[in-house]
Amino acid sequence: MAFKPTRLLLAAAFLGASAFGVAAQDFSPENPECIAPANPGGGWDFTCRQVGKSLQDLKLLDKTMQVVNLAGGGGGVAFAEVVNKRGDSNDLIVAASSATATRLAQGAYPGNTMDQVRWLASIGADYGVIAVAANSPINTLPELLEKIKTDPKSVSVAGGSAVGGWDHLKVLIAANAYGIDDVRSVKYIAFDGGGEAVTQLLADSVQAFTGDISEAKGFVDSGDIKVIAVLAPERLPGEFADFPTAKEQGVDAIGANWRGFYAPGGMSDEAYNAWVSKIAELYASDEWKGIMAANGLAPLDLQGDAFQEFVANSVNQIQGISKEIGIIK
């Protein structure tokens, strides 16, 4: 059954949402820690490191946030670690995104559900990109998709989420919008994080990369890759304005990846409210507005119960889409 790419605007309906105010709490973490459920260089790693640094710069944390990279299972290893071993930690937060919701929606974290953790807040939405190596003969999205359509075995696409995960879904959205009826013919190779996926692209092991703006930016700046499509409704502002959208190339594909955090299910209410408050204050700061602009993040301002509801809606929506394209029954 064909599906409409516009249904994948997982964040779009919420991009203008107002902040959920939370009073500042007395709680301050003794040993603040953020788990990035992937290897260094990807979006989850960016989320932990940039938020940790900014929280300290703004004096919302008085100690350095330790970042722990715990890759595996498209985030499943980290999720299981938090649920099974760190369930009552008040000092721990974990980077999450649409990729997390996708894996939960598809039952890819065996025995785990979104209700086993507490969802803290979002810090923005990251539009998807499709890129190739800077020296690739491919210059447009239709060129890449036509190559996939006529000779699917000749093109491997790398991403930082597991098979059936959010990075995989993004390239399937584009393929479906282009008219590739059996999107399962798209050859997708999963790596533990966007950084590793780009490394394989540069090594000529794969022909294309699917990820997010924040993951791709550094490699674009260094001249290693070229973005052939952004999965946004219109061109992004500022330094991203040169990147063409899929839509302007005749491929009606849109995909916004929200970024945020969850916490252990047994975290105390005092600690939970304090973390929500700190992230809300960070989001409202001029410093974070600058970071969002520099990294191509679109607004997504949700905290506490509003964020919990948003993630639940995302999981339900992705379940429906995954069934339509045959990823789950």
230 shares its domain with 217: yes
277 shares its domain with 196: no
Q: Is residue 114 part of a domain?
A: yes
Q: Is residue 228 part of a domain?
A: yes
Task: Write down the pTM of the prediction.
Answer: 0.77
Query: Which residue from 125, 324, 98, 96 is spatially nearest to 230, judged by alpha carbons?
Result: 125
Query: Which residue from 7, 4, 324, 73 is spatially nearest to 184, judged by alpha carbons?
Result: 324
Structure tokens at 210: 């699917």
Of 3-7, 42-46, 69-73, 123-127, where does mean pLDDT reach its minimum? 3-7
Most confident of 92-101, 235-244, 291-300: 92-101
Q: Is residue 190 part of a domain?
A: yes
283 shares its domain with 240: no
Rounded to whole angstroms, the maximal C-alpha distance in the chain is 61
Which CATH number fits the domain that encloses residue 51? 3.40.190.150
143 shares its domain with 85: no
Q: Is residue 117 part of a domain?
A: yes
75 shares its domain with 220: no
280/80 Cα distance (integer angstroms):
27
Range of the domain at 156: 127-249
Of 249, 284, 308, the position where a domain reaches its end is: 249
Of 231, 249, 267, the position where a domain reaches its end is: 249
CB 259 within 8 A of CB 292: no
pLDDT per residue as tens digits for the range 39-58: 998 889 999 999 999 999 99
Which CATH number fits the domain that encloses residue 151? 3.40.190.10
89 shares its domain with 13: yes
Provide the domain count of the chain: 2
When pLDDT is averaged across residues 219-241 and rounded to a whole number, the result is: 92
